[in-house]
Amino acid sequence: MTFESHLFYQTRSRRPVLSEARGVYMWDVDGKRYLDGSSGAMVSNIGHSNPRVLEAMRRQMEKSTFGYRLHFETESSEQLAAKVAALSPAGMEKVFFVSGGSEAVESAIKLARQYAVTVGQGSRWKVISLNPSYHGSTLGALALTGYAPLSDPFAPMMQAMPKIPAPRAYLDGLDSDDPATGAHYAAMLEAKILEEGPDSVLAFIQEPVGGASTGALMPPAGYMREIREICDRYGVLLIHDEVMSGGGRTGRFLGSEHSGIAPDIIAISKGFGAGYAPLGAMIATDRLIDPVLDAGGFLHGHTYAGNPQACAAGLAVLEEIEAGELMVNAARMGGLLKARLENLMQRFSFIGDVRGEGLLLAFELVADRHTMQPLPKALNAHTELVELAYAEGLIIYSRRTRGGLEGDHFMVCPPMIVTEEQIDELIDMLTSALGKFAARAGLAVETA
């Protein structure tokens, strides 16, 4: 089946027409089956077509599909907010719902700014972020993003924000397990705050576990704690972008739980709604919310904020994660999958690094594992391997590793329901795709 497409997205390329999706698998209309090895764009955390989530959505549809937040409170949004607050760090009990990750990040920085203005710190407006990083495609979120191909064309239209290097110890030849490494990268934040002027710096935003731009990057030892202390020292708000790492994928509800560090504001989306409805949230403390509400209200909002249908889906997703102990499975299957990916390094010398937590994992291809020199850009490995895997029936997700300009990493993030047998299947297809890529690119297969 083909359509005369009136849709357009990034390119003119076409994909098969989706017929159905169940569990970790998807089928096109010709009957070919695909293993969703990246959960879409790291979204389908509990797999596709979960019957209990679908039933919860049907029940809500029979009640109402829309209720504007300024006209009504809704049972599903209140219940979901309570559930999110219970899963969040102590004291983070206020939730603002949105439809996606970019909206969640925009909400976070706008809340931070309104709080600063309300408490007499109107000189604070700069939000420091990492390079590379990705925080969304709207202009506010894009100003925080350190990924040149995505942000450079729009630079004249936005206020670009200060950046510091992401803590990529593996590329800099540093030991990520050494607390001195964490201190080294954290010191860059303090230096940037002093350079910009502490009274002008509003917030620092980071992903507790790296997303697509850094490929599941794990912070070096001590980094998160040092960052928290620096933010406190200078009165800078700490925002955690958990759009990709939140929702249980890392084995904890939030990626920051692995370091034990709580931020001031959290942005969450993607796996939070698990693909059943457009859903995201900003989570914050009363300390920030109360002054803003007392001063006249949060000057921000979206039409579908707190949509009862989306919230009913989100609540059912969280209940499914808890009832099925899917975070436990994500930790266990993630450990197994990571070990299998590391085993591939023994066969393919051009795999230079495997990293991540739980089922938020990535591997990176390089020309030289010792120097971490990237593969030649002309090989277009980040697209070629994805296409070869797709032909095998495996879906993975890629980005250019080094600011979008060169380097190649691949996200391997199947749904949290994945089994050991399905991981075996995933690795078999990935191995075949890597072998075909090596032959096509003239790369060595066996390591020395």
Q: Which amino acid is at 448?
A: A
- What whole-number distance in Å separates Cα of residue 126 and Cα of residue 195? 12
- What whole-number distance in Å separates Cα of residue 365 and Cα of residue 396? 14
Q: Are 280 and 243 in contact (CB under 8 A)?
A: yes
Q: Which amino acid is at 283?
A: I
Contacts of 268 (CB under 8 A, 6+ apart): 84, 104, 242, 243, 246, 247, 254, 280, 281, 282, 283
- What whole-number distance in Å separates Cα of residue 36 and Cα of residue 336? 17
Cα torsion angle, 68, 73, 78, 79, sign: negative
Q: Which two tokens stand for residue 436?
A: 């075909």
Averaged pLDDT of the chain: 96
Q: Which two tokens stand for residue 273?
A: 């709604």
Q: Which two tokens stand for residue 280?
A: 């995201």
Q: Which two tokens stand for residue 300?
A: 């921000």
Share of the chain above pLDDT 70, in %: 98
- The number of C-alpha atoms within 13 Å of 261 and in the hemisphere containing its C-beta is 24
pLDDT tops 60 at residue 137: yes
Neighbours of 120 (CB within 10 A): 7
pLDDT tops 80 at residue 4: no
Contacts of 322 (CB under 8 A, 6+ apart): none
What are the C-alpha distances in Å from 204 to residues 118, 127, 275, 332, 413?
19, 5, 29, 32, 27
Question: What does the pLDDT look like over 259-288, one tens digit per residue?
Answer: 999 999 999 999 999 999 999 999 999 999
Q: How far from chain centre, in Å, is Cα 131? A: 15
pLDDT tops 60 at residue 448: no
Q: What is the pTM of this model?
A: 0.96
pLDDT tops 70 at residue 10: no
Q: Which two tokens stand for residue 250?
A: 């890392």
| Residue 1 banded pLDDT, cuts 50, 70, 90 | low
| Residue 11 banded pLDDT, cuts 50, 70, 90 | confident
What are the C-alpha distances in Å from 392 to residues 20, 185, 413, 442, 446?
18, 40, 17, 20, 22
| Residue 164 banded pLDDT, cuts 50, 70, 90 | very high
Which residue's structure tokens are 């277009």? 380
- What whole-number distance in Å separates Cα of residue 269 and Cα of residue 243? 5
Q: Which two tokens stand for residue 204?
A: 């620092």
| Residue 447 banded pLDDT, cuts 50, 70, 90 | low
Question: What does the pLDDT look like over 64-105, one tens digit per residue?
Answer: 999 999 999 999 999 999 999 999 999 999 999 999 999 999
Mean of pLDDT values over 345-373: 97
pLDDT tops 50 at residue 317: yes
- End-to-end CA gap in the chain: 47
Contacts of 226 (CB under 8 A, 6+ apart): 182, 183, 186, 187
Q: Are 43 and 244 in contact (CB under 8 A)?
A: no
Three-state DSSP string of the chain? CCCCCCCCCCCCCCCCCEEEEEECEEEECCCCEEEECCHHHHCCCCCECCHHHHHHHHHHHHHCCCCCCCCCCCHHHHHHHHHHHHHCCCCCCEEEEECCHHHHHHHHHHHHHHHHHHCCCCCCCEEEEEECECCCCCHHHHHHCECHHHHHHHHHHCCCCCEEECCCHHHHCCCCCCHHHHHHHHHHHHHHHHHHCHHHEEEEEECCCCCCCCCCCCCCCCHHHHHHHHHHHHCCEEEEEECCCCCCCCCCCCHHHHCCCCCCEEEECHHHCCCCCCCEEEEECHHHHHHHHHCCCCCCCCCCCCCHHHHHHHHHHHHHHHHCCHHHHHHHHHHHHHHHHHHHHHHCCCEEEEEEECCEEEEEECCECCCCECCCHHHCHHHHHHHHHHHHCEECEEECCECCCECEEEEECCCCCCCHHHHHHHHHHHHHHHHHHHHHHCCCCCCC
Contacts of 435 (CB under 8 A, 6+ apart): 445
Question: What does the pLDDT look like over 29-46, one tens digit per residue?
Answer: 999 999 999 999 999 999
Mean of pLDDT values over 201-215: 97
- What whole-number distance in Å separates Cα of residue 205 and Cα of residue 128? 6
- What whole-number distance in Å separates Cα of residue 327 and Cα of residue 81? 20
